[in-house]
Structure formats: structure tokens, C-alpha cells
Amino acid sequence: MNNTVLVGLQWGDEGKGKIIDYLCRDADVVVRFQGGNNAGHTVITNQKKFVFHLIPSGILHKNKICVIGQGVVVDPEILLKEIENLKKVGIPVSKKNLKISNFCHIIMPYHRIIDSLREQKRVEKIGTTKRGIGPCYKDRVSRCGIRMGDFIDPKAFAFKLKDNLREKNPIFKEAYGQKGFRFNSVYNKYKKLAKKIEPFVCDVTDYFYKRQDKKFLFEGAQGTFLDIDAGTYPFVTSSSVVASNALLGSGLAFINIKKRFGVAKAYTTRVGEGPFPTELKAEVLDYLQDEGGEFGATTGRPRRCGWLDLVLLKRAIKVNSINSLIITKLDVLGNLGKIKVCIKYKKSEKIIKNFPYSLENLKPVYKEFRGWNKDISKVKSFSKLPKAAKTYLNFIEKYLGIPINFISVGKDREEILKKRKGEK
């Protein structure tokens, strides 16, 4: 069995969507296992751009089963919009190629509102996507969440919704001076959405169990340093994004995942608040934002940009047990005279080589590389890359001690290079 997981090694937006679309040619089932529509995964093919928030990026391929696993939080309106948009452009989506776990938790309108209100009130802001992710996961662990199985059962949904509004409406009024939600209006609107989603809902564990001979590809969302535990807490998302959650978040039994791909950009970006040691403030920032189109696929916010941080990547490789590396957006560095990578940090003159408990107040120590001043997006093989680009990649590989197997050199589906073992 040849199962694969792919996760982001930075703070999200590493290009996971594009790579999943590429890798899924070799898979039967593509599974999202955590997060919700805070994710924005872009796939560009034949000049057409698709941004997936909930549906796995494998949906564009024929004969692939896409699964939304039990660890995902689902906003019904967003899901239905995504399905509708795909159908409009002729991509079939039916219960044959999309399965949704009956254990998924539902993002309700009160989750979205609380997410926004909390951000306004907090002193230590996280800069969330305001999609209701944190409040929904909070209800999950508080054991008052509404799951897909309840949602599609009108009686259970009414009971759970009433119970939630009884608890939440006074909080809206007292803590935020806001009006609460009226049961009837929420119930009537959401009952209709539930009817449309019902055909896709199933016992995913059972479904998987009967298909253990298939090849699974697990699509991570967010990035390692946004993980609720392994990330730069509290500036993180509310789910477990790391590779080890792929099984639990999918609802699968203990199967072997042989290939564990980690995706990193050739530089670093972050959306929202939190420490970022290699963050750039001046011209190079403008260059990366422009050249790399570094504006959020979900919220449109400009992404903070900085040099590649190898101390972080080394940590992410350990955390996820990555055995194959994918570097994306190498083309974006194409017009820079000098390129830097962080190889260690300094804190009050003390050198720090390993990932520290806190990333606050660190000064990056850089190794500098010559740029290659060339458009590489049409290069067709690793060996044809400019020498300076190869030097850059070889250094990354050596520092991290794992092979780079793919290099993405452009937005398009086909703009990707395979690097063979030992290829120079």
C-alpha cells in the first residue's frame, strides 16, 4: 500500500493545493483531515484558477474520491457554494466522488460572529480568518458542538441548536452588547442547507475500511507552525495540522503512510499575527508580495514575507517525520541579486541553532547566495536550472538532511520539476 500525506512546513500557503493536484494522479482517495474554510488551496490549470476551501484539491481529476474527514469543521454555506461553483464549470461533484464524515462539526453563524467579536476585544490579537474556526473547535471539545449527523437529522438539530442558543445568546448580549440569534430563522435556513448536504454524508470510517487496498493521499491544511500544539501558540489555528493527525482526523485505522511530503516555499510567508524571525520590512518585501502574489487566497490580506528559515524547516521535518521535501515558488526569487537563508538565530549575542521555545526577539543569522536573474518557469528539468538556483537548493537539501523531490517553478499545474536521486 502506497499512502501519502502532504503538509505545509511553514505558516500556510506553501502551495499545498497545487502539489496535491499534481500528486493525486497517483492516488485513489484524497482526504482533508483538519481545519475548515480558513484554508485556501489554489490550483491553476489551463488558465483557470480554482481556490478550494473545504473540498480536497483532487476533485478536478476524474475517478478520484474526495473525502472530508471527521477532523474538518464544515461551514455548510461555503461547502454548498464550492460544490455549486465546480458544477458551473463542468466539474462533476456528487455522492460518488465526494464523501463527508457524519462526525464533522458544523460551523454555525454564531461561531463566525464570536470569532470576529473576540478578535476585536482581545488585547493579544491572533488575526484569525474570522471564519468561526476557533469557536467551532472550542464547542467540539466542550462537547456542545453540532455534528454533521445531528445537522442532517431535523429533530436532533433542533434540540442541539436550541441548547446552544440558550447558552450563547446571553453571552452575545452581556459580553459584546449584541443581539442574539433567533432559533426559527437559523433553524429554517440551516435545515434547507442540511437537506442539500445529506446525500454526501456517510460513515467515513466504514467507507475506508472496505477500501483498504486503495491509495490514500492526505491533504494537510494550514502549516506546521499554525498547529495548535507544535505551532507558535497562541498565534496558531485551532486544529492539529501535523502529519500524525492525518489518520485520526480522517477517521482511518492505523495504516502505514510511507511517503510524508513536506511543502515549503523558497522563502517564508505568514498571514495574521505572531512572531516571524526572518520577516522583511522594506524593498524585498514589496518585491516578494508583488512577484509571488502574496495576498491571502481566503481573506485577501497581504501576506507578511521573509527569507527562508531553515531552523524552522528542520523543526517541521522532525515534527511531521517528513521524508521528502517539495520546494515551491522558486521562480519568485528569479530577479533578486542576493538571496538569504536563515541558518541559526542570535538572542542577546547567544547563538541558537535549534528551534527554541519562543520565536520572539530572535535575530536571524543568514547565509547569502547569489541570485540567478532568470525566469525559470519554463525550465523542464532540474539539471537545466541555472547553477545559482541549484546551489541554493543543494544547500537546503544538505542542511535539512532529506531529499528535495519536487521543485515548483510556476503557478501552473505543469510548472513542476522532478529531482531524481543524486541529480546535480
By CB under 6 A, is residue 27 in contact with ligand IMO? no
Nearer to Mg ion, 13 or 331 (CB): 13
Q: Quick one: which segment of 82-90, 129-137, 144-152, 189-197 binds ligand IMO (CB under 6 A)? A: 129-137
By CB under 6 A, is residue 38 in contact with ligand IMO? yes
**Which of ligand GDP, ligand IMO, Mg ion, none binds 409 (CB below 5-8 Å, type-dependent)?**
ligand GDP
By CB under 6 A, is residue 393 in contact with ligand GDP? no
- Minimum CB–partner distance for residue 353 and ligand GDP (Å): 28
Q: Could you confirm whether 13 is annotated as catalytic?
A: yes
Site string (204-243) toward ligand IMO, x via CB under 6 A: -----------------xxx--x----------xx-----
Q: Enumerate residues 86-105 that contact ligand IMO by CB under 6 A.
A: none
Count of beta carbons in the 10 Å neighbourhood of residue 167:
13
- Minimum CB–partner distance for residue 39 and Mg ion (Å): 6
- Minimum CB–partner distance for residue 116 and ligand IMO (Å): 11
By CB under 6 A, is residue 133 in contact with ligand IMO? yes
Q: Could you confirm whether 61 is annotated as catalytic?
A: no
- Minimum CB–partner distance for residue 42 and ligand GDP (Å): 3
Judged by CB under 6 A, the residue of 3, 5, 8, 86 near ligand GDP is: 8
By CB under 5 A, is residue 9 in contact with Mg ion? no
By CB under 5 A, is residue 40 in contact with Mg ion? yes
Q: Quick one: which segment of 6-14, 73-81, 170-178, 395-403 binds ligand IMO (CB under 6 A)? A: 6-14
- Minimum CB–partner distance for residue 256 and Mg ion (Å): 28
Task: Give residues in contact with ligand GDP (CB under 6 A).
Answer: 8, 12-18, 40-42, 44, 293, 297, 328-329, 331-332, 408-411
| Residues designated as active site | 13, 41
